[in-house]
Structure 1
Amino acid sequence: MNIKKILLTTAVAVSSMSCGKKYLELANPNQQTTATFWKNDNDALMAVNAIYQSLYYDGTFLRFAQCALDFRGDDMMSPSPWDVLSNTGSFKLFNNMIMQQWLWIAFYGGVTRSNFVLDNLHKVPFKDQNLANRLKGEALFLRGLNYYYLVTFFNNIPLVTKFYDNSSEYFPSQAATQDVWNQIYQDFDEASKLLPVSYSGADLGRATKGAALAFLGKSYLFNQKYDLASAKFKEVMNLGGYDLMANYGDNFTEAQENNKESIFEIQFSREVGGITLGWVSSPAADWSKTTARAITFAPAPFGWGDAAPTQWIVDEYKKEKTKTGEDDPRLRASIYYNYPGCKLYGQSFQTVYAADLNKIGVKKYGNGDGSVPDEKDWRSGINERLMRYSDVLLMYAECQNELDNRAECAKYIQRVRNRANLPDREAEFAALSKENMRERISHERALEFALEGHRFDDIRRWGWLQNPTKLAELKTHDPEFNSYVAGREFFSIPQAEIDVNKNLKQNSGY
C-alpha cells in the first residue's frame, strides 16, 4: 500500500545498502538513525508528537476529513465547482478519487506512526515510568482514532498493527470489519487505563482518559453495544471536570479552546510554525499548524463557499421557540442568514447579500466574529473539536432509550436543551415510545451538532439509508441524496491502492 510512503516527522532515517554490495559509508553526526534514536524519554516524546502531526495533513483535519464528514449529511451540501468536493456530498466519487486517496494515505499514515511508536517504546530506558505509560496510552489512543475514521469512511480495510520497514510485506488483505472494531475497542480501552484525566501547560490538548473512554463508548454505540457504550459514557461523566459551556458558540472559537466541554480537540494555532500549508510530504520547520476548514466552508466572498447549510436544518432549528419566544440560539451560532443585525467579517449580511437575502452560509468554526476581513490566507487557528461533552450526554441518552430507560434518556436530553433555553419537556419525552424517542433523539442531535460532521454517521448507523421511507425523507432534506446508491455510504477503496496491492477488493456500489 502507498501508506509505506508516509514519512515520520521524528527524522528517523534507515541506512540502506545497495545491491548487496558494501560501500564506504560516512555517518552524518547530525542525522538520527534507528541505531541512535530511542535512547531517552525525549526521543519517545518526539515520536509520539509525530503521530499528532499526522492529524494536520490535508487528508486528515487540515481540510479533507471535515469535508468527508460534513458534506454527506442532510444538514449540509457542497455547491463547490471542484468535483472532488461537490461529488462527495452527492455520492458520486468514482472518477476523481482525490478525496478517497488522501483520506486513505493520511489516516493510514497516522496508523503507521502509531505502530512505529508502539513497536519501539520498549527500547527506551525511561527515567519516568509515568511518562512511559502516558506515551503508550497516547499512541494507542491515536491508533484507535485513526482506525475509527478509516473504518467509518471505508468499512473494508486492512488491519495493520505492527510497523513494517520492508515494503514487500505491505500487501495485506482487508480484515473482517468486526476485527477492526475489536482492535479499536482494545486500543481505546487500554489507552483509558494509561492516560491521565487532564493536562496543563504545554501538554494541554493531548489525549486524556476521558477522550479514550468517550471514543470507546462511541465505538460501542456504532455497533449497537448499548450496555457497554452506556457504561463508558457514565465513566466519562463520573470523572468530573467536564460540563456544558454556558454559551454554545464558545465551542467553535479560538478564544475558548480546550474549555470544560471539550474532551478532545486538534490543536491549531497561527502562532506556531511558519506559514507554509502542510498539504503532503514530510513536515518542515516552516509548516503552519493551521487549518483550511475556515476558507473552505466560509461563504463567498469571505471564503470559497465550498460548503453550505441546507434549508432543512435552518427550518429544523425554527420548529421550537425558546422559553422567551426566540429562535434556538444555536442557529445564529452555526449559520449566517438574514436576521436583524447579522454581521460577518465586520460587514452587514443585508449589505453583502443584498441581491440574495435568502442566502445561508456556514458560521461555525469560522473567524467571522474576529478581526480578520476574510479567510483568504487559508490559515485558521481554531481548534477542531472532535468530541464534546454534549455528545457524551446525548449518546448516553440514546443508550438509555435502547435499554428502555426512557426517563433517564429524557433527563439528559433536557439537560442539553436547557443550555439553548428550550422549554422543559422532560416529563413529556419520558412518556414517549422507544421509536418516538428515536425520532426525538435524531432531532436533538441534528440541532446540537449541525455542521460538525456527526450527522451522516448518525444517519448511517441508524440504518436510514436502507429504510425506503427514511431515504425518501432524506431526499426532501437534501437533494444530494437523490444520487445515493446502495453501498456508497462508504467511500470506494482508492484505485491507486488496488493497483499497488492486488489483495484489496473494491467496496460494493462502485
Structure 2
Amino acid sequence: MKSKIIIYTVIVFALFNNACKKALDLKQQGVYTSDNYFRNEVDAVNAVSGIYSLLEEEDYIGHAEATFDVPSDDYWRSGDHGEDEGIENLTYDASNAAIRYPWKWRYEEINRSTNCVINIPKITAISTEVKNRSMGEAYFLRAFGYWRLMIIHGDVPIITEEDYTKQIFNVPKSSIEDVRKQIESDLLKAVELLPESYGATDRGRVSKGTALGFLTKLYMYWEKFPEAIATGQKVISNSHYALAANYTDNFTRANENSTELLFSIQAVQNVVQNDFTVYYIPRPWGGYGFSQPLQGLANEFEANDPRKAATLLSVGDKIDLGDGNGLTTFTADLSATGFAFKKYAVFNTAADGGGVDHTFAVPLMRSADIYLLVAEALIRTQGAGAGDALINQVRHRASPLLPAVSGAGMTQLIHERRVELAGEGERHQDLMRWDKAKIVDIAAIYNLPVSKAPIDQSKTVTFIRPKNYYFPLPQVEIDKSKGVLVQNPNF
C-alpha cells in the first residue's frame, strides 16, 4: 500500500515543481472517469491504494475518530480543540465540528470502495489473484466505513451500488439492523476473497484475518455470540494472526511485521505524517498532547503487570527521543493528568535523525482484541470460567508473573480489556454495549468525579440513556438533504 503512496507523492511533487516554473506550458494529458480509468491490473491496485490513503486523513482515522472515545473514564481530552470538550462531557449538539469532520471521509471511503467493486470486475488485463485481492480489499474497506458510521451514529444512509451507478446520493437513513447486514455481507465477501497474509512488498494490506476480526466485532455488537465465537476462533487458530511474543512488540518501530496487527495505519517517514501518533505525544516532544490518560486507568493495572509501563508514561519515567541527548525525563508539565500514552510515543534513533517515528504502524485492531471478544462471548453464553483459557493466553503473554484467572466472569473480562487495549479506542464503546446488556451502569461510572492529577480538577460526565448511545448526524448534512435525512432521536 505505502509503495503506491510514495509513487503518488513523488508525482505530485514533480508536477507541483514543474507547474511553478512553466504553469502556462502544461497540456492536459487526458481526463479519467470511472468509465475509462479501470483498464488493467495497475489501475486496479492504484484505485484500491487510493481507498487506503483516506486512513491518513487527520479528520478521519488520523485523529477525529479517536475523539469518540474521550468521554470514557480513561481519558482527559486535553488539546486545544474546543469541539472535543463537548464530546468528552457529552454536551455536544448536532453542530459540533468533531461530529461533522469525519462524516464525509467515511462516505468517501464507501464511495471509492464501491467504485472499485463496480469496475474492477470489468478489467480483463488482470490476474485472478490480484483481482480477488483487490475486490476483497474494496469490500472490507467499504464495510469499515459503514462500521464507523454505525458505531458512532446508529441508523445511517446506505448507498447501494445501484444508487452509485445512478449517482443518487441523497437517500434516507437505513435502520441499524440493515446497516449491520450490509457490513456483514461485505465482510463475508472479503473473507472469501482476501489472502491469509502478504509478503513484505504488500505489508499493511488487509487480510482474511482482518475481515474475520471485524466480523467477530460486528457479531459481538449484534449480540450474535455463537457466530462471534465461530468466527473469532478462525483468527485465534491461525498462526498468521498469532499474538506477538511480547506486548511491547506491538508498539515499537518494528511492529509493521507483527502478526498481531490485523489492521493498522502505516505511514512513511518524510512522506506521510502519522497524525494519530502525533496527537498523543507531548507538545515539547513534537506532538500535540491530546487524549491524556487519567489516574483511574493507571490504577486499573495490577502489580507486576508490564502493560502499565508499556502503555503509560508517568512522571519520572525516562524515554529516548532520539535527539542525541540520551534519556529524557517525563515531567509533570508535559501533561495535565501526569500521564501520556507511551505506546504511541515512538521516536527515531539519533542515527535516523530523531523526532517522531512515522514508520510506526498504529494498531487499529489486534488479535488480542479478538481473543478477549471470544472469551466474552463464551462467558456470556456458557457462564463464568468458559473464557479462562483465552484470557490467560493474553495475560501470560503480558507476563508469566500475572496470576492465572480461574472461573473468570465479566468483571475479570472487563478489567482485561481495559488494561490490554488502553488507548486503542475501545473503552467507551465497550462500556456502552455492556450498559445496554445491563452488565455495567455506565451512568454511575461516568457520573462519578474522575481524578485528574496533578492539577486540582476533576472530570464528571453525565450519561443520559438512550440519547448518548449514539451521536447525532451532523446538522449540516441534515440541512443539505432538504428533509431526506431525519435526525437521531433526542437531538
How high is the TM-score relative to the length of structure 1? 0.81
**Is the aligned partner of 1:359 residue 2:338?**
yes
Q: Percent identity at matched positions? A: 27
Aligned to 1:401: 379
Task: Give the one of 270, 275, 292 matched to 1:292.
Answer: 275
How far is 1:370 from its partner? 4.7
Q: In the superposition, relative to structure 1, how do residues 47 and 405 fare at CA in structure 2: closer, same or farther (>3 Å)?
A: same
Q: 1:450 to 1:74 in 2, by over 3 A?
A: same
Partner Cα separation in structure 2 for residue 357 and residue 40 of structure 1? 53
Deviation per CA, 1:266-311, whole angstroms, max 9, x where unpaired?
221215x4xxxxxxxxxxxxxxx22212332223433332221011
Q: Which moved more, 1:33-42 or 1:231-240?
A: 33-42
Q: Does 2:464 correspond to 1:485?
A: yes
**2:415 matches 1:443:** yes
Q: Which amino acid aligns with 2:319?
A: K
Q: How does 1:221-236 map to 2 (within 5 A)?
A: 221-236=220-235
Distance 1:163 1:301 in 2: 51
Does the C-alpha gap of structure 1 residues 28 and 163 become closer, same or farther in structure 2, counting only changes over 3 Å? farther
Number of positions where the alignment pairs a residue of Structure 1 with one of Structure 2: 452
Amino acid at match of 1:316: E
Tell me what 2:24 maps to: none
Q: Structure 1: which 5+ residue stretches go unaligned?
A: 1-8, 12-26, 274-288, 323-327
CA spacing shift, 1:480–1:120, aligned 2, 3 Å: farther
Residue deviations 1:94-153 (CA, integer Å, cap 9, x gap): 275221111110111100111111111222114411221111111101111111111001
Map of 1:203-214 to 2, 5 A cutoff?
203-214=202-213
The amino acid of 1:416's aligned partner reads: V
Structure-2 residue corresponding to 1:188: 187
In structure 2, the residue matched to 1:458 is: 430
Assess if the C-alpha contact under 8 Å between 1:464 and 1:471 holds in 2: no
1:82-481 alignment, distance < 5 Å: 82-94=81-93, 97-162=96-161, 169-271=168-270, 273=271, 289-302=272-285, 303-317=287-301, 320-322=302-304, 328-339=305-316, 341-343=317-319, 345=321, 347-349=327-329, 352-353=331-332, 359-367=338-346, 370-371=349-350, 380-404=358-382, 406-421=384-399, 423=401, 425-426=403-404, 429-430=406-407, 432=408, 437-463=409-435, 469-476=441-448, 478=450, 480-481=459-460
> Structure 1 residues 86, 403: closer, same or farther in 2, change over 3 A?
same
- 407-416 or 78-87: bigger deviation: 78-87
- 1:80 touches 1:86 (CA, 8 Å); kept in 2? no
Pick from 485, 498, 505: which aligns with 2:478?
498
Gaps of at least 5 residues in structure 2 are: 1-7, 12-26, 451-457
Give SS of 1:263's match: strand
Secondary structure class of the residue paired with 2:181:
helix
Q: Scaled by the length of structure 2, what TM-score is found?
A: 0.84
Q: Measured at CA, do residues 193 and 357 of structure 1 come closer, stay the same or move farther in structure 2, by a change above 3 Å? A: closer
Partner amino acid for 1:294?
Answer: T
The one-letter code matched in structure 2 to 1:309 is: P
Aligned to 2:37, the other structure's residue is in SS state coil
Q: Distance in 2 between matches of 1:205 and 1:226?
A: 29
Partner Cα distance (2:222, 2:459) in 1: 26
Identify the structure with the greater helix proportion. 2
1:38 aligns with 2:38: yes
Matches of 1:356 and 1:180, distance apart in 2: 40
In structure 2, the residue matched to 1:24 is none
Asked if the contact 1:297–1:308 (Cα under 8 Å) also holds between the matched residues in 2, the reply is yes
Q: 2: CA distance between counterparts of 1:344 and 1:31?
A: 49
Q: SS of the counterpart of 2:216?
A: helix
CA contact (8 A) 2:56 2:275 kept: no
Tell me how far apart the structure 2 counterparts of residues 355 and 254 of structure 1 sit (CA, whole Å). Answer: 23
Residue 117 to residue 166, structure 1, CA distance change in 2 (3 Å): closer
Distance in 2, matches of 1:332 and 1:467, equals 29
Q: Is the 8 A contact 2:277 2:362 kept in 1?
A: no
Measured in 2, the distance between the counterparts of 1:357 and 1:65 equals 22
Q: In structure 2, what is the Cα distance between the partners aligned to 1:38 and 1:142?
A: 19
Q: In 2, distance between residues paired with 1:124 and 1:65?
A: 34
Do 2:56 and 2:62's aligned partners in 1 also have CA atoms closer than 8 Å?
yes
Give the 3 Å change call, closer, same or farther, for CA 126–440 of structure 1 in structure 2.
same
Distance 2:381 2:101 in 1: 39
1:465 Cα deviation from its structure 2 partner: 9.9
Q: Find the aligned partners of 1:395 and 1:356 in 2 and give their Cα distance.
A: 32
Q: CA deviation at 1:34?
A: 4.0
Kindly tell me: are residues 95 and 78 of structure 1, through their superposed partners in 2, closer, same or farther at Cα, counting changes over 3 Å? same
Q: 1:313 to 1:30 in 2, by over 3 A?
A: same
- Cα deviation, residue 381, structure 1: 3.5
Task: Identify if the C-alpha distance between structure 1 residues 159 and 471 changes in structure 2 by more than 3 Å, giving closer, same or farther.
Answer: same
Q: Distance in 2 between matches of 1:390 and 1:356?
A: 29
Instruction: Decide whether aligned partners of structure 1 residues 263 and 407 sit closer, same or farther in structure 2, where only a CA change above 3 A counts.
Output: same
Q: Determine if contact 2:443/2:464 at 8 Å carries over to the other structure.
A: no
Query: Structure 1 residues 131, 89: closer, same or farther in 2, change over 3 A?
Result: same
Q: Are the equivalent residues in 2 in contact too, given 1:59–1:65 (CA < 8 A)?
A: yes
Q: Identify the residue that residue 6 of structure 1 maps to in structure 2.
A: none
One-letter amino acid of the structure 1 residue matched with residue 292 of structure 2: A
Deviates more, 1:123-132 or 1:166-175: 166-175
- Could you tell me whether the CA contact under 8 Å between 1:268 and 1:383 is conserved in 2? yes
Partner Cα distance (1:256, 1:331) in 2: 19
RMSD of the TM alignment (CA)? 2.9
CA distance in 2, matches of 1:356, 1:195: 42
Q: What SS is found at the alignment partner of 1:482? A: coil
